[in-house]
Structure 1
Amino acid sequence: MNVSERNRALYAKFLNFKPSRGDERRLRILEKTIELIGSGTGIEGTSFESIGKSLEMLRAHVAYYYPDREALIEAAIKLVVSTVQNYTVDHVRKAADEGFGKVDGFVDGTFAWVRDFPTHPRVILLLYYYASFNKSYKDLHDRVRRLGAERLAATVAEVLPTKKRRQAMSVAKWIQSLLTGHLVDYLTTHSTDLETLRKKSVREIHTYLKTI
């Protein structure tokens, strides 16, 4: 079983990553880890044994690349974080300059990531959970949120009136919280489909931006 061609193409595009033969097994292990965490198996059932069994690989081979489960989980989280960051950057870059186009691009990139990698958001939720009691994960979580807010704030500043641009960071954090809340609701209740939720998010953000 190789890394899926679809995922290989996406990693190459958004992460500028083309795995060598030596990297192939490492990436397969990460993909399977993310898949297991994001599926019914969850974090409790994700182990070197379950990963090895799913990949028809010896436990020792998994352990060769990752010394312990914590190192494996951390690598999986970082891959997911890198993927969503690159998705949003790419969509913002391609978005229209007019109106709220660049902000919409950030939203579109976020939802495109969920669509293309449906198990990834649950790994992000795992990061939130770990951050509540583990300092190293809290540092990673805070760094990810801060960098995301800074990128988004730069985009938001472009659509705000000149005298209001000092509010860009607080607006960016509000948008982050809105999207996080909507995606958590989507993942836990499936009360609506992803495209409907994307459109709802865009409408709410536009309404908020117009009040500033």
Structure 2
Amino acid sequence: MSTFARTRDRWSLRLGPARRRPPAPRPAVVDLGPTLPAWTLRVACVVVAGACTVPLLPAAPLAWFAVGALLVTVAVRPGGAGPSLLAVGVGLLWALAPTAPFAWPLFALVSGVHLVVDLAALHGDLAVGGRVERRVLRRAAGAWLAVQVPIQALALVARQLHVADIASPWPPLAAGVGLAVLAWALLRTVRARG
């Protein structure tokens, strides 16, 4: 036996049996704020999606079947392609609907579809029995409002220009410049994160 081993054994005998045992592991404590069940977000997502699509549906049974399948897809797998396909489907239904392009339901429809996509992205990877903190929902609601306020304002301006029947080349030009600036800002944000 080496000198080091003898010294170690002698000190462990002097310290006693209580000191020779390793300390007991501490249990992990996770401090969560108030939470909501994830299934409530799924239900909210399907209810808002249904409220956005059902008023636009024609009487054809195939359209009802397709929208029903999309709603089931959103309910079962919200993190998949269902919410995006639903947004595209609602846009196509609105384009084919015999209503005015800037009717008042369009404003609710835009915010509703955006809410469906955001809710699905928020809880898409959670299990049905999972839980979501309320502060996460508050942060997501702030981001949703930050997008919706300018979109709704621009939609109101576009509606007023459409109602006034102003024939000017400036609104489309301003919209194109605005889209270019928005794309540039989004690209900078994505590059900064990546």
Please give the TM-score of this superposition, normalised by the length of structure 1: 0.29
Q: Which has the higher contact order (CA 8 A, sep 6+)?
A: 2
Kindly indicate which of the two structures has a greater share of residues assigned to helix.
1
Structure 1 or 2, whichever has the larger Rg, is 2
Please give the TM-score of this superposition, normalised by the length of structure 2: 0.31
